[in-house]
Chains A and B, each alone.
Chain A
Amino acid sequence: MVLNCKHVWDQISNYIDGEVSPEMRQAIEEHLAHCRHCAAVLDSTRNILYLIADDRTFELPVGYSERLHAKLQEEIGGE
């Protein structure tokens, strides 16, 4: 299986998630070995996903948990 760049882009998300067949994985890796553009697309995408998954990127509003449980307690205690 020989892939061009567009084929690789179409599979890049499944590749990151390990959701491609062994044959597809091998074909993608063969392409990546000689295509600097696709290798950089993969690296940058993974890097960005890694950054957005970090707790520091999205923080809860201060006091959110306390307000949530206070509201819940009103409901629980009110019955």
Chain B
Amino acid sequence: MTTEAHSSDPTAAAPANRDAELISRILAGERELFHELIRPYEKSIYFAAYSILQNEQDAEDAAQEAVLKALKNLANFRAESKFSTWLITIAINEARGRLRHDRVLKFESVDQPTENEEGSFTPALITDWREVPLQALERKELREMLQSAIAGLPEIYRGVLILRDVEDMNIADTARALGVSEGVVKTRLLRARLMMQKILAPQLKSKGGSKGLFGLFRDKAGGAWF
């Protein structure tokens, strides 16, 4: 993370000004500034690629390639979209391109949109949710449980969930980055979130009482989330 005052929140207005200024200087010849331009978005690029490729090395390679392509094509960037969204779109396209090389056709059907399936998705029906505190993330087992649940989602749901809920992109930018409508993002997000709930709520609930894994459950009662 850069130490510049305005770069900690790439979604605020100030970073857009910062990006615009950096881009015009880079295009005028100060190419070294490209390092600073991409620094706040390095993590998002990686996880956008990872959401598709599901492999650390492949995601890193795709992220590197996306950054080089962004540098090469910076003159084509148009300021009507955010630089971060444009960059993430390049990373997603790079990752998708790599996936097509590696995958046999039968797996591609998993990626076909299923938004026409408007039927309700049934969540895990539980009562009396005992909240899992953030401190519990210090437990490796919990992190693996969360990562494994996301990895198990079909790609179209995983992509939306990672951009929206892990990277905190808004719905409009998520739609633009994935090349789908905002309505499609909302539909996929609903399914992705309920799938996560269905997979994880019973697992977390069953672990909640065990001493060894989530003793922290008992220390943090009550309190609203978000």
Contacts and interface: CB of A to CB of B under 8 A. Distances in A.
A79 B205 CA distance: 57
Contacts, number: 144
A36 B125 CA distance: 10
A44 B126 CA distance: 9
A40 B128 contact: yes
A49 B165 contact: yes
Given A48-B201, A53-B166, A40 B126 contact: yes
A51 B136 CA distance: 9
Interface in A28-79: 36-37, 39-41, 43-54, 56-58, 60-61, 64-65, 67-69, 71-73, 75-76, 79
Given A64-B42, A72-B71, A41 B125 contact: yes
B102 interface: no
Contacts of B4: none
Per DSSP, chain A at the interface is helix
B41 to A, nearest CB: 11
A19 to B, nearest CB: 7
Interface of B: 31-32, 34-35, 38, 42-43, 46-47, 50, 56, 60, 63-64, 67-68, 71, 120-129, 131-132, 134, 136-138, 142-143, 146-147, 150, 161, 165-166, 168, 171, 186, 189-190, 193-194, 196-197, 200-201, 204-205, 225-226
